[in-house]
C-alpha cells in the first residue's frame, strides 16, 4: 500500500501529527530570531569623534562654552553623514584664536570651509538614544571600517546558502532527525561563541555558521512537517511553520527592546535551543525518508505508533507492501538523475522556479 493511501486510514492530520507538527514548528521561532538579529545586533547608532580635552582660558574664550568649541571641531563637513570621521585640529584652533589671527566667531562662520587642518579620528562616542551596545559601537565599525558591517550581512547570507545546500543534501543521506539535532547543536555553539566574540574577526565566522545553522535547521523542520501529514494538509503544515516563524519576528522586536546589549540579545535568542534537546526522546524519523531508503521495518514500527496514538487499527496486510512509490512511478526512478536544467524543463516548472526566486 502506498504511504499516502495508508495515511488516509491513519488520519492525514491525526492527534499524532498535530502534536509533532506543533512541536517541530516551534523551532522556527528560534530560526526567525537568528534570521533578523542583525537589525539589532548590528544597529548603527549616531556617533561623534572623541575630542581631546583642552584648557580654554583667557579673555578670548569668555563667551565660548566647551560644548560650542567641541561642536565646532566636529563640523568638518556640511554633509552630516560624513561627520564623525575627522575633526579640526584642536591645538591648532586654540593657538590660532589665542594668537589673535582669528576669532572663534569667524571660524564658526566659516564652518566646514575653515582652513584649519583636520585630524583623523581613532576613538568615538556613540549615542544610546536608540540602541544599546552593538557590534558597530563595540568594534568601532564606522568610517573606514564601516564596510565590515555590510560584509557581515553578505557573509551571513552566504552562510544561509551554504546551510540550505549542505543540510538539504545531508538530510537526504543521513535522515531528517539527525540533521535536525545537528542544526540545533550548531546554532547553539555558533550563537554562544558569537556572543562572546572579542572582535569582529572572531564574530564573522561564527555569524556565518549561524546563518548556515538556522537556514538548514528551518529547511529540515519544514520538510519534517510536510512529510508528517497527508497530501491534503501539506499546505496547512507549511503555513503553520511559517506562522511560527512570524511569531519569532514579532518576539525578536520585544526581546531587543527589553535587552539593549547585543551580547545579551545573542544569548537570549540562542539559549532556548537547549529546550529542544528533549525532542530526541520522542521525535521519530520521517516515514517517507525511511521508505525512500528501503528501511521498511523501521517505517512499519513508526506507523504502528501513529495508529496507536490516533486510535486506528492497521493490519499486517496494510503494512506488508508499504511503499512511497506508485506502481507507475516505481520503474527507473532510482536511476533518474536531476540537474538545474530540470527547473526549466517545463513551462509550469520554470514559472514556479522564478516565483520562488523572486520571493527570496
Query: Tens digits of per-residue pLDDT, 277-321?
Result: 888 988 899 888 998 888 888 988 888 888 888 888 887 777 777
What's the full length of the chain, in residues?
360
Residue 344 pLDDT more than 90?
no
Mean pLDDT confidence for 257-271:
93
Q: CA 198, CA 141: separation in Å to the nearest integer?
A: 14
Q: For position 221, what pLDDT does the model report?
A: 93
CA-nearest of 263, 10, 32 to 133 is: 263
Q: Largest alpha-carbon pair distance within the chain?
A: 105
Beta strand 124-126 with 47-49 is antiparallel
Structural domains of the chain in order of their starting residue, each with its CATH number: 3-43+144-330 (1.20.1250.20), 47-126 (no CATH)
Which is more confident, 7 or 201? 201
Residue 159 pLDDT more than 70?
yes
The fraction of the chain above a pLDDT of 70, given in percent, is 94
Mean pLDDT confidence for 259-263:
92
Q: For position 79, what pLDDT does the model report?
A: 64
Q: CA 170, CA 213: separation in Å to the nearest integer?
A: 13
Q: For position 215, what pLDDT does the model report?
A: 93
Arithmetic mean of pLDDT over the chain: 86
Matching residue, cell 492527534: 15
Q: Which of 39-53, 66-80, 255-269 has the highest mean pLDDT?
A: 255-269
Ranges 80-84, 124-128, 141-145, 273-277: which has the least confidence: 80-84
Q: CA 31, CA 33: separation in Å to the nearest integer?
A: 5
Look up residue 55 and give its three cell numbers. 584648557
- Report pLDDT digits (tens) over 17-39: 999 999 999 999 999 999 989 98
Mean pLDDT confidence for 205-231:
92
Model pTM score: 0.82
- Report pLDDT digits (tens) over 332-343: 445 566 666 888
Amino acid at each position: 500500500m502506498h504511504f499516502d493511501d495508508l495515511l488516509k486510514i491513519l488520519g492525514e492530520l491525526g492527534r499524532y501529527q498535530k502534536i509533532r507538527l506543533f512541536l517541530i514548528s516551534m523551532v522556527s521561532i528560534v530560526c526567525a530570531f537568528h534570521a533578523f538579529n542583525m537589525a539589532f545586533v548590528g544597529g548603527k547608532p549616531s556617533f561623534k569623534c572623541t575630542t581631546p580635552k583642552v584648557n580654554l582660558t583667557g579673555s578670548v574664550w569668555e563667551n565660548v562654552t566647551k560644548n560650542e568649541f567641541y561642536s565646532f571641531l566636529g563640523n568638518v563637513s556640511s554633509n552630516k553623514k560624513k561627520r564623525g570621521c575627522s575633526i579640526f585640529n584642536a591645538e591648532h584652533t586654540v593657538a590660532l584664536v589665542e594668537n589673535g589671527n582669528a576669532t572663534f566667531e569667524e571660524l564658526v562662520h566659516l564652518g566646514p570651509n575653515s582652513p584649519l587642518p583636520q585630524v583623523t579620528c581613532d576613538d568615538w562616542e556613540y549615542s544610546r538614544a536608540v540602541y544599546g551596545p552593538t557590534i558597530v559601537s563595540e568594534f568601532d565599525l564606522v568610517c573606514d571600517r564601516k564596510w565590515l558591517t555590510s560584509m557581515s550581512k553578505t557573509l551571513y547570507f552566504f552562510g544561509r546558502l551554504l546551510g540550505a545546500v549542505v543540510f538539504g543534501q545531508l538530510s537526504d543521506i543521513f535522515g531528517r532527525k539527525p540533521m535536525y539535532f545537528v542544526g540545533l547543536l550548531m546554532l547553539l555553539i555558533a550563537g554562544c561563541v558569537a556572543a562572546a566574540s572579542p572582535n569582529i574577526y572572531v564574530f564573522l565566522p561564527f555569524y556565518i555558521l549561524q546563518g548556515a545553522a538556522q537556514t538548514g535547521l528551518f529547511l529540515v523542520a519544514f520538510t519534517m512537517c510536510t512529510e508528517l501529514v497527508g497530501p491534503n494538509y501539506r499546505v496547512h503544515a507549511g503555513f503553520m511553520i511559517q506562522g511560527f516563524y512570524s511569531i519569532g519576528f514579532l518576539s525578536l522586536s520585544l526581546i531587543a527592546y527589553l535587552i539593549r546589549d547585543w551580547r545579551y540579545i545573542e544569548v537570549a535568542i540562542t539559549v532556548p535551543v537547549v529546550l529542544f534537546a528533549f525532542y530526541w526522546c520522542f521525535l521519530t524519523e520521517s516515514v517517507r525518508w525511511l521508505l525512500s531508503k528501503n528501511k521498511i521495518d523501521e517505517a512499519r514500527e513508526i506507523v504502528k505508533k501513529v495508529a496507536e496514538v490516533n486510535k486506528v487499527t492497521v493490519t499486517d496486510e496494510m503494512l506488508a507492501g508499504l511503499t512511497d512509490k506508485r506502481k507507475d512511478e516505481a520503474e527507473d526512478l532510482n536511476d533518474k538523475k536531476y540537474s538545474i536544467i530540470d527547473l526549466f524543463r517545463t513551462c509550469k516548472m520554470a514559472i514556479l522556479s522564478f516565483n520562488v526566486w523572486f520571493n527570496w
